[in-house]
Structure 1
């Protein structure tokens, strides 16, 4: 054996929820699970023995939906998370320019602001706000959700965008009373900005990946479902694939990747298919995952697509980035070519569209084990909740979203729609397959915080006191399952990972506390002591 772990409390997450004391690993695989005495009998001269000292060992965490490259990219930008005003935004960007001695003419990027956290006036920044920072550097700051960006006047000049510029289908840039752009770009119109930014090199992309993976390993994450294809300005997915391939060849890919392939139109998807790409193509470190489709925006920005107008803005129902026909054509083409589909749907209208496309595709080409799903699935109603089970669709949920969303849901959609939204316990009770993630860098990928919010239905400040829609609380077991076996199921890999069983990959995480037997309020404070990928310690 290469590694023997002894004297632990090992929650295997197998079907019987076996709790063991020790485990033996060889050639990246779990070879035996049992007592310390039994495992030590398998010791060889070169075996490493690690005493867990009674601590809790779980299967490595699987963040089923995030943006790994975008998170790595965000580390090179101005961090705007947690700012409380436009003035503070300006100060942070100005400090970044001075601290890094940014030359005139170079683009400045920032990410993470959320107007709902502003004290005083809760509005989007505008070009005129950002003009106070610089008139010589083009500036773009991205809202936390990633669905809205704001640029300054210099950026509009560089982009050659003015009152004569045509609007973009499936998005918009805001205009003032004189018809001039205010600097705010929403949904598909964001591409007018992103498509013209400087493109990182392959080595720069690899640096972003390495930095992101390092941070994820610290959080106990060993697998991710990640949407990377359009994370960078050139939207060249071959560069993303090349960077991952080179990291793997350099033995620096310390995380398992299930690539959620964002291909936004039929020509891109057909070209992808023509190159031979299919779901599950790859190996245990990197696999092609589902076709990722984006059909609405975010609740915070009021761009999530709703069946009825927003309660706090009756003039809008949000934005859809594709027609029903366009969506169906993409889903059906993928389905017929054995490509799984994961559709971004936050608003109820987006999910109605998604399920319609999936159902028609299944009717045309029946397939039981398709594992198509909806990513986010937030503003649901009874019909949609039943449809998940009826179509055997996966629900990709992000428990950490509660940290912000519980404060705005009733304002955005009203009390009636609120009651059937973020209904995770209802999904579990209906037998819907759920899998947990973070949507990072939109929110933190700290799994302990995600489990805490799933179990308590509270934000990280402990509000509301009794939990938001408390009947929708998950148990600790259900939440841990969502971050382990749930993610493995979503990638067709439940037979090789997601639980600590013989002949499965030796991916695991050591915790400072037993989260099954502590006060649920303390779960968010539990530390990660060690992360193991394929029997190799990648964080300690």
Structure 2
């Protein structure tokens, strides 16, 4: 009896002396936490309060120190910082979801079948679609408008190639756009057959068609953004770098974020247009909790698949064809000077070796007195080996690993055995720059970041081809790949102090996966699923457990 009384007294004294517990919002426990901090530490639990990581530690210690509104038991699953897609098109994904899906078509006949089925269901006044790739067809030549004219003589049709750098359109669309055999436009091409437009438009002339496509309403824009967000959250993405937006769409993103309809964070690159430059460069950097506007998306050239990428020497599979600069070299330099003077970041699409060196030289000159500009070369796809020396933490490569595994079947045919040595060279760029930002370029590629991770480390497609990997010497390690999708991507956005790792004081954006991508068999990575996605410590996707 005395022993029992003594024990009760000790317990009461201990409880009375124990510090009062702090109220917190969430405890994440029983987790395998990859913090991605400077020393790549692991943890088992962490506490969230007011949308930020409050403390990282062990479950028993944290449970003694805090009271929690909610607890999330990871049950041993791997937890990572919220994934950042460093180059994608959130809004375009939403638009794509409203139009004809042509991804994966294996022939032009299949393209036409999908368009017919879509129009029978939707009855659109202007038929839009995206995703065809003639390189995936038995006949790898560009299609013509003949079949579209037969099927849709009175309804305009514009079907965008998967990379977004070519249209196949019918005669009605050409008529509305005012395009004839006489139409010339620097930075692109109206392809002719028998001295008449074939229906293929490459790069710049596409703008004539874009100008006559019915304008989206505010409700249409909202629907597109929310549909795209749902896809991204289900795949563990918490921040999207949207590469090229108008003022109208940026304003709608801001509105939806402020009323909590749009939880995903957006690093918005403004499209390079006179209106956008005049408005935003004078306005200065815009930063809210979820929206960051401080960069300009510029196009130096077109795409390799449509032979619009600007090359120093003729294409290996098309004599006397060099592609084209969308933004002439002289304009690149003046644009770079203007953007640098405004304190904005310049992020330039560059595919061909000629476009890449033009961009790199313009960057170097504009940034000669700036040490922390963090300008990005988007894609950096075909680079002359000597030009890799331009890359640094001030001129950052922003690449998309699935481009390598999508293009590998035909890329060498385009550029030849010598130039391919400077293509999709992610490890080389990382070694030179000390940093690399990774994205997908969706909807050009699939949204799934697990495919990004797999393509970066394995250099294989989803059928595990080629067996030894495509130019495997340019593969990234798993740790490098994870950093490229988290802390390095955050750094490229000037956001490394607030996101990109699970550390005290940073935003509580994190993702729980059903398997550990850092340890499982390499070929299993594409099949990993997201168990839960959190933004600001709130579950935005996943189980209710």
Fold-level similarity (TM above 0.5): yes
- Residue among 73, 82, 85 paired with 1:51: 73
Alignment deviations for residues 380-412 of structure 1 (CA, whole Å, 9 cap, x no partner) = 1222211113x7311001011123111122111
Asked if 1:376 corresponds to 2:376, the answer is no
Q: Report what 1:232 is aligned to.
A: none
Q: Secondary structure at the match of 2:382?
A: coil
Alignment deviations for residues 167-194 of structure 1 (CA, whole Å, 9 cap, x no partner) = 11211211222x2211111111110101
Alignment deviations for residues 322-350 of structure 1 (CA, whole Å, 9 cap, x no partner) = 22211111111000110111111111111
Asked if 1:242 corresponds to 2:251, the answer is yes
Asked if 1:36 corresponds to 2:41, the answer is no
Is the 8 Å Cα contact of residues 402 and 459 (structure 1) preserved in structure 2? no
Asked if 1:73 corresponds to 2:95, the answer is yes
- Residue among 171, 175, 185 paired with 1:168: 185
Q: Report what 1:234 is aligned to.
A: none
Q: Secondary structure at the match of 1:341?
A: strand
Is the 8 Å Cα contact of residues 177 and 211 (structure 2) preserved in structure 1? no
Q: Report what 1:258 is aligned to.
A: 267
- Residue among 107, 129, 133 paired with 1:110: 129
Is the 8 Å Cα contact of residues 21 and 34 (structure 1) preserved in structure 2? yes
Residue 158 (structure 1) shift: 2.6
Asked if 1:223 corresponds to 2:239, the answer is yes
Asked if 1:92 corresponds to 2:114, the answer is yes
- Residue among 521, 537, 540 paired with 1:538: 540
Is the 8 Å Cα contact of residues 269 and 330 (structure 1) preserved in structure 2? no
Matches within 5 A, 1:484-503: 484-503=486-505
Residue 38 (structure 1) shift: 1.8
After superposition, the CA RMSD in angstroms is 1.3
Q: Structure 1 residues 316 and 338, CA, compared in 2 at 3 Å: closer, same or farther?
A: same
Is the 8 Å Cα contact of residues 534 and 541 (structure 2) preserved in structure 1? yes
Residue 271 (structure 1) shift: 4.0
Rounded to whole Å, the distance in 1 between the matches of 2:121 and 2:81 is 42
Rounded to whole Å, the distance in 1 between the matches of 2:119 and 2:233 is 30
Q: Report what 2:19 is aligned to.
A: none
Q: Secondary structure at the match of 1:47?
A: strand
Residue 268 (structure 1) shift: 4.6
Rounded to whole Å, the distance in 1 between the matches of 2:184 and 2:177 is 14
Q: Secondary structure at the match of 2:151?
A: coil
Q: Structure 1 residues 268 and 34, CA, compared in 2 at 3 Å: closer, same or farther?
A: closer
Rounded to whole Å, the distance in 1 between the matches of 2:162 and 2:398 is 19
Question: Structure 1, unaligned stretches of length 5 or more?
Answer: 230-236
Matches within 5 A, 1:202-351: 202-229=218-245, 237-265=246-274, 268-274=276-282, 276-278=283-285, 281-351=286-356
Is the 8 Å Cα contact of residues 242 and 266 (structure 2) preserved in structure 1? yes
Is the 8 Å Cα contact of residues 311 and 413 (structure 1) preserved in structure 2? yes
Q: Report what 1:455 is aligned to.
A: 457
Alignment deviations for residues 109-151 of structure 1 (CA, whole Å, 9 cap, x no partner) = 11000001112x1122211121232112111100000000011
Q: Report what 2:411 is aligned to.
A: 409
- Residue among 129, 132, 137 paired with 2:150: 132
- Residue among 194, 201, 219 paired with 1:185: 201
TM-score by length of 1: 0.94
Q: Report what 2:164 is aligned to.
A: 146
Q: Secondary structure at the match of 1:430?
A: helix
Is the 8 Å Cα contact of residues 448 and 524 (structure 1) preserved in structure 2? yes
Rounded to whole Å, the distance in 1 between the matches of 2:132 and 2:295 is 30
Q: Secondary structure at the match of 2:190?
A: strand
Q: Secondary structure at the match of 2:287?
A: coil
Rounded to whole Å, the distance in 2 between the matches of 1:112 and 1:322 is 25
Residue 264 (structure 1) shift: 3.7
Matches within 5 A, 1:1-12: 1-12=24-35
Q: Structure 1 residues 215 and 241, CA, compared in 2 at 3 Å: closer, same or farther?
A: same
Question: Structure 2, unaligned stretches of length 5 or more?
Answer: 1-23
Residue 277 (structure 1) shift: 3.1
Larger radius of gyration: 2
TM-score by length of 2: 0.93
Q: Secondary structure at the match of 1:172?
A: strand
